[in-house]
Structure 1
Amino acid sequence: MANTPWSQNQYIKAYQFAALAHRGQFVPGTDIAYIMHLSFVSMEVIAALRTEQGHDEDLAVQCALLHDVIEDTETTYQQISAEFGMTVAEGVLSLSKNKTLNKSLQMADSLQRIKQQPHEIGMVKLADRVTNLQRPPSAWTKEKMARYQAEALEIYNALYEASPSLSLRLHKKIVAYNVYFD
């Protein structure tokens, strides 16, 4: 499969949509606008796309920018489908936790749904966790940090085949996260 380069116009459309949907939200524990997180996730995906062939780049980039709009805003699947098409909407939906499930089951459910999607969706989840494995919020206990690191390993184990470069980057981040336990 040949690369289908991502479109700057589609990027801008998805970025603007996400910025409006997440307006007023901040990266947890900071005063940084939430759109920064989405920018970082899309940057990770774009970097991986530069080194890997055979991806639907528009799908990967749009889902990177939109990955939290269903889960964290009032945006619906139908709105995403109308604006970006069913394939993008299905990807974003699979990246969204099903909040009707017990919290302990949500990640496994999401990972199972992601694995049924094109591999670009797995790339987004890997990039999301790469981006999130930064210094943990000061309020987090060692137990919370350990659960978050274990969840990152669960994501890695489930989705590593989606992107060699993002998988390697996530694995390095998981190992480096040990510094926060000292």
Structure 2
Amino acid sequence: MWLQETYLRAYHFAAHAHQGQIYPGTQIAYIMHLSFVSMEVIAALHAEPHHDGELAVQCALLHDVIEDTPVGYAEIAANFGAAVSDGVLALTKDATLPANQQMADSLRRIQTQPHAVWLVKLADRISNLQAPPAHWTPEKVLRYRDEAEMIYTALATASPFLAQRLRAKIDAYGQVA
């Protein structure tokens, strides 16, 4: 179960935090990506209502705030509580690590969180597996698909609904490469 008021509060917070940002490779406001991820999470919650919907929806909308804006953990905790800020932190790549270690590290941290947080990472990658940007090399496209496989392997058990959607996206993405 999740409440519309909770969604709107997190959406407004995220919209202000990401104000002026655009989704890479597009002219679309970044908040659209957060809307797409939260839509995937909401669809999963409809199919699998046993998850903590409040946690999942808030983390979906806030998942990139620490990574991509000046807003930090403490501000998220003050506004949304420890469970949400811990989830968002787990979903945030550690920029102090080499790039090739960041996803594995994040997945390890996500796996210590409730499954509601796992849903967000699955939904995020579903949302991101659109046609790759034209400037990406074939090697980068393959690395991105391989990273999606890593996410699938690590987190698929949390949500059969999202696992099936991610599997289909990965398979289609493989045909692009």
Instruction: Give me the TM-score of the superposition, normalised by structure 2.
Output: 0.99
Name the structure 1 match of 2:91: 95
Q: Which amino acid aligns with 2:128?
A: N
Name the structure 2 match of 1:151: 147
> Which of the residues 150, 173, 178 maps onto 2:169?
173
Shift of 1:162: 1.1
Shift of 1:99: 0.4
- For residues 89-168 of structure 1, what are the structure 2 equivalents within 5 Å? 89-168=85-164
Specify the SS of the correspondent of 1:16: helix
For residues 164 and 12 of structure 2, the distance between their equivalents in structure 1, rounded to whole angstroms, comes to 30
Q: Which amino acid aligns with 1:150?
A: D
Shift of 1:54: 1.2
- For residues 1-150 of structure 1, what are the structure 2 equivalents within 5 Å? 5-150=1-146
Q: Which amino acid aligns with 1:8?
A: Q
Deviation readout 1:99-130 (Å, 9 max, x if unpaired): 01111110000000000000011000000000
User: How many residue pairs end up in the alignment?
Assistant: 177
For residues 72 and 133 of structure 2, the distance between their equivalents in structure 1, rounded to whole angstroms, comes to 29
Specify the SS of the correspondent of 1:130: helix
Q: CA RMSD in A?
A: 0.6
Q: Which amino acid aligns with 1:148?
A: Y
Deviation readout 1:125-144 (Å, 9 max, x if unpaired): 00000000001111011000
Specify the SS of the correspondent of 1:82: helix
Q: Percent identity?
A: 61
Runs (4 or more) in structure 1 with deviation over 6 Å come to: none
For residues 175 and 102 of structure 1, the distance between their equivalents in structure 2, rounded to whole angstroms, comes to 28
Unaligned runs of at least 5 residues, structure 2: none
For residues 157 and 17 of structure 2, the distance between their equivalents in structure 1, rounded to whole angstroms, comes to 31
Instruction: Give me the TM-score of the superposition, normalised by structure 1.
Output: 0.96
Specify the SS of the correspondent of 2:51: coil
Q: Which amino acid aligns with 1:106?
A: Q
